Amino acid sequence: MSFLDRITEGWRKNRKPGYYEEFDYHWAMTIDLDQCSGCGACVTACQAENNLPIVGEDAFTKGREIKWLRLEHYWEGEYPDVKLNVIPMMCQHCDSAPCETVCPVSATYHNQDGLNTQIYNRCIGTRSCAVYCPYEVRYFNYNDHAWESPLDQQLNPDVSVREKGVMEKCTFCIQRIRQAKDNAKDDGRRRVRDGEVQPACVQTCPTKAMVFGDRNDPKSQVSQSLNDPRAYKVLDELNTHSSVVYLKKVEAEG
């Protein structure tokens, strides 16, 4: 094989999603839009679990809210034949993520579990990842945030509080995943059981519209849900190979 071929070969190898031969776990999430009622419980759950700051009205006015998980609203049609479609939007943990290529300091990279990481203490705040992310789910700390005492007593000790100048985003509740792995080790297990770990949003969803699990395990609930004929990915045409899969909303025939 010629030199050129070897180059291209090597290049392809490096172009493997996530730059791993295979993932150890491959965490994925499905969200059934036909079951989601848009109640926003997941949004609050995320805020509570991940020490998201209370930014205040002013920040919202400026468009500087920090919501790792947000609900997007899309109206369809006009009165009286009008519909509201709600879709929860969070980091899609793309296996070929635009944000990962652009970070100059590798503060965001793909880890062995197919997760798109964000290392706060490595981030220097070029904000280029937020520009490159087509889902716009990366949020920047434009200033330090305060928790008026005693609200600070609620802060989750397993999650770092981010300082000004740092990018942040949904981590699939990595602290819970690590905890689950920790428990597995305590029980002398190699692997985390299916359903043993759930991000805050999935755990709290009143309609159980969200499923989270390991895509590598064909028997896992999420794998089954991924085979649903209604499964689709948002902005799939961009080939980001996202790990969050939505199930189409069903248009009633009646």
Partner 1 sequence: MPNIDRRDFIKLVGAGGVGVGAGVVLRESIKHPREHLIPHVLAPEDYSSGVATWYNSVCSMCSAGCGISVRTREGRAKKIEGNPSHAVNQGGLCAVGQAGLQVLYNPDRVTGPLLQAAGRGSNDFTQITWDDGLTRVASRLDVLRAAGRGNRVAVLTRGTSGHLAELLEAFGQGLGTDRLLHYDYDHPHALHVANQRFFGEQQLPYYDLANTRHLLSFGADYLAGWLSPVHHSLGFAQSRHGGDHRGHFVQIEPRMSPSGAAADEWIPARPGTEGILALGLAHHIVASGHYEGDDVDAWQEVLSAYTLARVAQETDVSESTLRQLAESFANTRPSLAIGGDGAANNSNGVDTLVAINALNYLAGNVGEMGGVIFNPDPGGATSHSRQANYQTLAQLAESARSGEIDVLILNDANPVFTMPVASGFKAALEQIPFIVSLSSFIDETSALADVVLPSHTYLESWGDAFPEQGVGFSIGAVSQPVVAPLYDTKATGDIVLDLARRVGKPMPWNSTEECIKDGWNKIYQESDSNTKTESFESFWTALLKAGVWGKKNHRMTETSRPNANTIASIGVDAPTFSGDAEVYPFVLQPYLSTMHDGRAANLPWIQELPDAMTSVVYGSWVEMNPKTAKDLGLTEGDLVDVESPEGAVRAPILVYPAIRPDVIAMPIGQGHTNYGRYASNRGTNPLEILSPVVDENSGNVASNATRVKIVATGKHVEIVKTSGKSRDLGRDIVQTTGGDDHTAQTNSIPITVIPT
Partner 2 sequence: MNVSIQPALKSLRTAALIALVAVVGVFMGYFIDFLITDNPEVSAPEQPIAFSHKIHAGDNEIPCQYCHTEARRSPSAGVPSVNKCMGCHNEVATDSPLIRQVSEYWENKEPIPWVKVHDLPDFVHFTHKRHVQAGIACQTCHGPVETMDKIAVHSRDNDGPTLMASTTGEITNSETSEVGATQNDHWEMGLCLNCHKQHDVVDGKAVRVDDGGFDNGLDCWTCHK
Partner 3 sequence: MDGELNQLKYTDIHNDVVRSIVETGPNYYIALITAFAFTLICFFFPWFYQLYYGIGAAGMNHPGVWGTYLASFIFWIGLSHSGTLLSCVLHITNSSWRKAMYRSAEAMTLFSLVVAAIMVMVHVGRPWFIHWAAPYPNQMEMWPNFRSPLLFDVMAITTYLTGSTIFIYMGSIPDFAAVRDRTQGWRNTMYSLMSLGWRGTDTEWHRLHWAYTFLAVLIIPLAVSVHSIVSWDFAMSIVPALHQTIFAPYFVVGAIYSGTAGIVTVMFVLRKFMDFGQYITELHFDNLGKLLLVLSLLWTYINIVEVFTGFYSGASGEIEALNYRLFGFYAPLYWEMIAFCAIAPLLCAFKSFRTSFVPMLVLSIAINIGMYTERFLIVATSLSRQYLPDAWGLYVPSAVEISILLGTFALFTTLFLLFVKVFPSVSMYEVKETMESPKKSTPAASEGSPA
Q: Which of residues 69-128 bind partner 1 (CB under 8 A)?
A: 70-76, 78-80, 82-87
Name every residue whose Cβ is closer than 8 Å to that of residue 90 and which is 6 or more positions away in sequence: 46, 68, 69, 70, 137, 169, 170, 201, 244
The Cα 76–Cα 245 span in angstroms is 22
Window contacting partner 3 (CB under 8 A); options: 40-48, 56-64, 153-161, 206-214: 56-64
Window contacting partner 3 (CB under 8 A); options: 32-40, 165-173, 193-201, 209-217: 165-173
Token digits of residue 86? 């709600």
Tell me: does residue 62 bind partner 3 (CB under 8 A).
yes
CB of 53 to partner 2, least distance (A): 16
**Residues in 9-68 at the binding interface with partner 1, rule: CB under 8 A:** 32-41, 43-45, 47-49, 54-55, 57, 60-61, 65, 67
Return the number of other C-beta atoms located less than 10 Å from residue 188's C-beta: 6
Window contacting partner 2 (CB under 8 A); options: 10-18, 94-102, 120-128, 216-224: 120-128
Cα Rg of the chain, angstroms? 19
CB of 174 to partner 2, least distance (A): 5
Give me the 169-198 binding string for partner 2, x by CB under 8 A, dash otherwise: --x--xx--x---x--xx-x----------
| Amino acid, single-letter form, for residue 246 | Y
Containing H/E element for 238? none
How do beta strands 210-214 and 27-32 pair?
A: antiparallel
Nearer to partner 3, 21 or 237 (CB): 237
Name every residue whose Cβ is closer than 8 Å to that of residue 208 and which is 6 or more positions away in sequence: 35
Dihedral class, residue 22 (left if φ above 0, else alpha if ψ from -120 to 50, else beta): beta
Q: Cβ-count burial of 61 within 10 angstroms (0-12 exposed, 13-18 middle, 19+ buried)?
A: exposed
Window contacting partner 2 (CB under 8 A); options: 2-10, 119-127, 224-232, 245-253: 119-127
Tell me: does residue 112 bind partner 2 (CB under 8 A).
yes
How do beta strands 244-247 and 27-32 pair?
A: parallel
Which of 22, 24, 72, 136 forms a contact with partner 2 (CB under 8 A)?
24
Tell me: does residue 143 bind partner 1 (CB under 8 A).
no
The Cα 110–Cα 100 span in angstroms is 7
Token digits of residue 236? 């799939």
Q: Look at residue 187 and give the partner it binds from partner 2, partner 1, partner 3, none, a contact being a CB closer than 5 to 8 Å depending on partner kind.
A: none
Q: Look at residue 200 and give the partner it binds from partner 2, partner 1, partner 3, none, a contact being a CB closer than 5 to 8 Å depending on partner kind.
A: partner 1
Which of 92, 108, 116, 204 forms a contact with partner 1 (CB under 8 A)?
204
Site of interaction with partner 3 (CB under 8 A): 62-65, 72-74, 89, 98, 101-106, 109, 122-128, 130-132, 134-136, 139-144, 164-167, 235, 238
